[in-house]
Structure 1
Amino acid sequence: MGKIFRFDKDVDTDQIIASQYLLFPTIDEMKTHTFESLNGKFASKVQPGDFVVADENFGCGSSREQAASVLKALGVKAVVAKSFARIFYRNAINIGMPVIVSKELHDEVKEGDEMELHLEQGIIHANGKEYSCTKLPAKMQEILDQGGLIASLNKED
């Protein structure tokens, strides 16, 4: 079980991690500024195993890999949204951050609710209800388990 941090539609990568923080030399230094313009307390409140739940078009804007990386570094277990910008989706998979589509969840939960994600079954439990979501194919789950596409490719050598 993890806590939900809820965001609306069209959250862009600059709102996830603003461009001025990309100058910091490490993701650990950047992560304390995650969602600073939308929820200034996010980085200090999020705990490993928590979830980001968003409306449509999450991760639009610039193609910065750091947007997915700071969420992973903070321990976010997955981002669940109605839809994702393609480049954010790809960057998340590359680094091993689960990005899950659920059309109903965002509209029925609020900030602070708890949820449980079952990737293999494509099911989310929240507030006593069950929601369908992306059911990951075994190969995709294997890639995520290895830390992302890049780590998976490096292990195949």
Structure 2
Amino acid sequence: MENKGTAVCIGEDVDTDMIIAGRYLRTKDRKVWADHAFEDYDPDIAGRLKGSVIIAGKNIGCGSSREQAAIALKEAGVLAVVSPSFARIFFRNLVNTGILVFETDEIKCKDGDEVIFSADEDRVEVAGIRYDAKPISESMKEIIRAGGLIEYMRKRR
């Protein structure tokens, strides 16, 4: 199944504190997290996340393993995250939150580029250029299709 989104392009080594700053973790209000996503990296990004695909440089999600970073992205409306490499815990937090992940070669992009992606075919197309992604397991795809690990477990009862 093919999906579309709009590219939000960020650099490499963007850590989870840049995705959601620690000062916002005093609340459990996910909307607050979404509203302040990437605030210390670029304060204009949060308003562009709905329906977006984050195209990142290598090593996205490094630093602390805070799951709130993935939750903030989900709440903000991010459809997928694409990067040449992920911090492993962040990668799994994205999957467990229900966000598609694509590990690809580095992608040159501009904010607003059209992104077409398919989890079934493990591919991403940015501005008309196709990139093959490293396949993820079928069990991870099932978790993402369910909307995250909690929903996946509820459906299995």
What TM-score results when the alignment is normalised by the length of structure 1? 0.91
Q: Which moved more, 1:136-145 or 1:96-105?
A: 136-145
Pairwise CA distance, 1:54: 0.6
2:102–2:123 contact (8 Å) kept in structure 1: no
* Residue matched to 1:112: 112
Number of aligned residues = 154
Q: How far did 1:135 drift?
A: 3.1
Q: Which residue is 1:143 aligned to?
A: 143
Equivalence map 1:77-88=2 (5 Å): 77-88=79-90
Q: Any idea what SS the aligned residue of 1:5 has?
A: strand
In structure 2, give the amino acid aligned to 1:35. Answer: F
- The separation in 2 between residues aligned to 1:19 and 1:101, in whole angstroms, is 27
Which digits, 9 at most, give the CA deviation of each residue in 1:70-107, with x for residues without a partner? 101111100100100011111111111112101132xx
* Paired residue type of 2:138: A
Alignment partners' CA distance in 2, 1:149 and 1:20: 26
What percentage of aligned pairs have identical amino acids?
39
The alignment partner of 1:23 has SS state of coil
Does the residue aligned with 1:35 lie in a helix, a strand or coil?
Answer: coil
Q: What is the alpha-carbon distance in structure 1 between the residues aligned to residue 118 and residue 83 of structure 2? A: 15
Q: Which secondary structure does the structure 2 equivalent of 1:130 belong to?
A: strand
Which amino acid letter does the alignment assign opposite residue 61 of structure 1?
Answer: G
Structure 1 segments unaligned to the other structure (5+ residues): none
Cα distance in 2 for residues equivalent to 1:124 and 1:92: 17
Correspondence for 2:129:
129
TM-score, reference length from structure 2? 0.91
What is the root-mean-square deviation of aligned Cα atoms in Å? Answer: 1.4
Matched, 1:8 2:11: yes
